[in-house]
Structure 1
Amino acid sequence: MIAYINGILTSIEEDSIIVEVQGIGYEVFCANPFYFEPQMNKELKVHTYHHVREDAQILFGFPKKEDKYLFSKLLNVSGIGPKGALAILGGASVTDFVGAVEREDDKYLTKFPGVGKKTARQMILDLKGKLVEWVPYEENEATIFYADARVDESLVAEALEALEALGYSDKELQAIKPELHKIEAEKVDEYVRHGLQLLLKV
């Protein structure tokens, strides 16, 4: 298998790039080929996934190892093919996607082309808890939602239900949800109080 390519970026197409290595041009399909535009006519390293089918061998390219890793994991999910996996990588960062999987956010996952509720639930079932080690360590949604010591998900869920009962919309509640997960509290009413303070700022 071809793990990566070091070569000169000679062309950027709508859905692929051409990398020349010792006189051979490799076509590499990417989620966002224009990401590589600053390296045009320069040497670059592209992490690749060598996809083999009965009728074709295709190279998919990624700027980072974690992008490639997520792509390979997505291909193992029933209902997700290479085109769908690229669409996900083109529409979200790895950290945001992993955060959505960890918090079982169906609404976020179904925003991607070709991903319905059934496929979103399958992604959660297959991937939850299996991707976080590949997320770069930083203060992001993935680390916030995965860290057991940071927050009790059930308390946040109950607080959001209480706020919904007070008349706040789902859009408003989703906007403050990441902030609530940053708060360490032991009781539902503490989250409700913090939530009300956040909603006043929205």
Structure 2
Amino acid sequence: MIDFIQGRVAYHTPECVVVEAGGVGYRLHCSNPFQWEEGEAVRIFTHQVVREDAHTLYGFSDGSVRDCFRLLLEVSGIGPKVALAITGAGSPAALVEAVEREDLRFLTQLPGIGKKTAQRLILELKDKLKKVGWVQTLPTGGPAAAVTPGRSASSEVIEALTALGYNEDEASLAVDEARRGFGEKEPSLDDWIRRALQISMKR
């Protein structure tokens, strides 16, 4: 099993990045190949899928995203293309949180996931996530935690998103856009975070 490839980016295609390492060009299927620039020195984590008609390498910027991809492949009905789309749509922590809370509404916003597949995700992954320790890495109280007295709700939402893997700029933009979408209605902290997460995953 190839765990990672370290080399320089040779070129991109819309679906792949080609990394030259040791005189060999490795084609890695990625959710966003253009996150790496041509000529850039990279270390890309990989997962290899072997079938009768092809050997395919999938590439990830972070080992935790690759591990999430592997867990998704264990769910019946989810193949590499859908798993890649899901991991490219948001952070592993956001997915773990949604599974832990059995949030069907959130899960069905993911690419290629309908209600039945979302139910299978919850059923088949919930115990596995606990066994590998991913649930314990989430912030205490999860995204729906109550607002701390003396702090603004928007700060709490931004903090929740950054805890789930988004940087502060991404979180701030998503929080502002989500707030505008509620109009005159005063959203609950839980609704605000859900909406901000959905916006972040579509960017």
Shift of 1:31: 1.3
Tell me the equivalent position of 1:198. none
In structure 2, the CA distance between the partners of 1:138 and 1:125, relative to structure 1 (3 Å rule), is closer
Shift of 1:122: 0.4
**Alignment partner of 1:130: what SS?**
helix
CA distance in 1: counterparts of 2:142 and 2:23, whole angstroms: 47
CA distance in 2: counterparts of 1:86 and 1:65, whole angstroms: 14
**Alignment partner of 2:128: what SS?**
coil
Which among 38, 52, 68 is matched to residue 66 of structure 2?
68
**What amino acid does structure 2 have at the position aligned with 1:115?**
I
Tell me the equivalent position of 1:99. 97
Q: TM-score, normalised by structure 1?
A: 0.67
Tell me the equivalent position of 2:26. 26
- Residue 124 of structure 1 pairs with residue 126 of structure 2: no
CA distance in 1: counterparts of 2:47 and 2:87, whole angstroms: 14
In structure 2, the CA distance between the partners of 1:15 and 1:145, relative to structure 1 (3 Å rule), is same
CA shift digits 1:113-157 (9 cap, x unpaired): 321111101001111143363479574xxx5439xxx89xxxxxx
Tell me the equivalent position of 1:14. 14
Paired residues of 1:103 and 1:145 also in contact (CA < 8 A): no
In structure 2, the CA distance between the partners of 1:117 and 1:36, relative to structure 1 (3 Å rule), is same
Tell me the equivalent position of 1:194. none
Give the RMSD, CA atoms, in angstroms. Answer: 2.8
In structure 2, the CA distance between the partners of 1:125 and 1:21, relative to structure 1 (3 Å rule), is same
The gaps in structure 2 that reach 5 residues or longer are: 147-181, 194-203
The gaps in structure 1 that reach 5 residues or longer are: 152-170, 181-202
CA distance in 2: counterparts of 1:135 and 1:6, whole angstroms: 30
Q: TM-score, normalised by structure 2?
A: 0.67
In structure 2, the CA distance between the partners of 1:83 and 1:9, relative to structure 1 (3 Å rule), is same
**Alignment partner of 1:77: what SS?**
coil
CA distance in 2: counterparts of 1:106 and 1:8, whole angstroms: 40
**Alignment partner of 1:145: what SS?**
coil
Q: Larger Rg: 1 or 2?
A: 1
Corresponding pairs, count: 153
Paired residues of 2:97 and 2:138 also in contact (CA < 8 A): no
**Alignment partner of 1:87: what SS?**
helix
Which among 119, 141, 145 is matched to residue 142 of structure 2?
145
Paired residues of 2:11 and 2:17 also in contact (CA < 8 A): yes
The percentage of aligned residue pairs carrying the same residue is: 42
Paired residues of 1:66 and 1:135 also in contact (CA < 8 A): no
CA distance in 1: counterparts of 2:187 and 2:100, whole angstroms: 15
Shift of 1:23: 1.4
